[in-house]
Amino acid sequence: MLALGQHLPTGAPLWYSMGAGVCGGFGLLALYRALSIGIMSIAAPISALAAGVPFVWGMVRGDSPHTLQLVGAGIALLGALLAAREPSHAHVPREKFKESVTLALFSAVALGTGLVFLGYAAPGGAMPVLVADRIATSAITLPLALVMGQMGRSQMRGLWPMIAVGVFDTTANALYIYAFRQHGMMSMVGVLASLYPVTTVLLARATLNETLERHQAIGVGVALAGVALIAV
């Protein structure tokens, strides 16, 4: 950022950037915990309900969604409820399943709120906003990792995958800011940014051989279809 002659945003964009970092930090912590203790291909689509936060906020601030988008919001909620229904032969303990669903719902609210903040911070420029965002996120996650003993040698063995996750996450946020500055309609851009669970579900099936019961598979598909309808 310094090499490009840029500096941290000031005023409102700075506070919005830091707010996005705080929400994103807590949202990602909840999401990663939900993914690790539950069924990944269920927790991820539930977290896609993050789309509802910028969608609703966009309408409040004057966006005019089409009827199809409103129908999509209802379908996405229905799909999430189906996916969250406890399987009869759960691959994880009942308590862990419920905790995973709860954390996924929390992450949806937190990440969705973070997208709203990023939208308001966008006038500060992608790079300065992202740096402020990452500073705020690090201020939350690093102390928690130290307190919880997650900074030992055993955890550091997975450093490269963690770095890759950080690069992908930061790139996604940069593209979101760019899209918002180009399009300006939060109810649309925020929803499209919440389509990431598609990749998570596919990777979970390909790498972890996760299987879903029929009603859960239907729920996953319906939830993602609802999100897609909102983006039409």
- pLDDT tens-digit readout, 39-58: 777 787 788 788 788 888 88
Confidence band (pLDDT; 50, 70, 90) for 106? very high
Q: CA 92 to CA 199: how far, in whole Å?
A: 22
Q: Is 90 exceeded by the pLDDT of residue 107?
A: yes
pLDDT (0 to 100) of residue 214: 80
Q: CA 150 to CA 148: how far, in whole Å?
A: 6
Mean pLDDT over each residue of the chain, to the nearest integer: 79
Q: CA 128 to CA 9: how far, in whole Å?
A: 6
Q: What is the mean pLDDT of residues 204-213?
A: 74
Q: CA 22 to CA 133: how far, in whole Å?
A: 8
Q: Is 90 exceeded by the pLDDT of residue 11?
A: no
Q: What is the mean pLDDT of residues 4-20?
A: 81
pLDDT (0 to 100) of residue 87: 61
Q: Is 90 exceeded by the pLDDT of residue 35?
A: no
pLDDT (0 to 100) of residue 50: 85
Confidence band (pLDDT; 50, 70, 90) for 122? confident
Tally Cβ neighbours within 10 Å of residue 155: 12
- Tell me the backbone φ, ψ of residue 213, rounded to 5 degrees: -70, 165
Residue 54 or residue 202, greater confidence: 54
- pLDDT tens-digit readout, 71-104: 887 888 788 767 766 566 556 777 888 888 899 9
pLDDT (0 to 100) of residue 23: 93
Instruction: Report the amino acid identity of residue 126.
Output: A
Burial tier of 187 (Cβ tally within 10 Å: 0-12, 13-18, 19+): buried
- pLDDT tens-digit readout, 154-173: 555 667 777 888 888 888 88
Q: Is 70 exceeded by the pLDDT of residue 5?
A: no
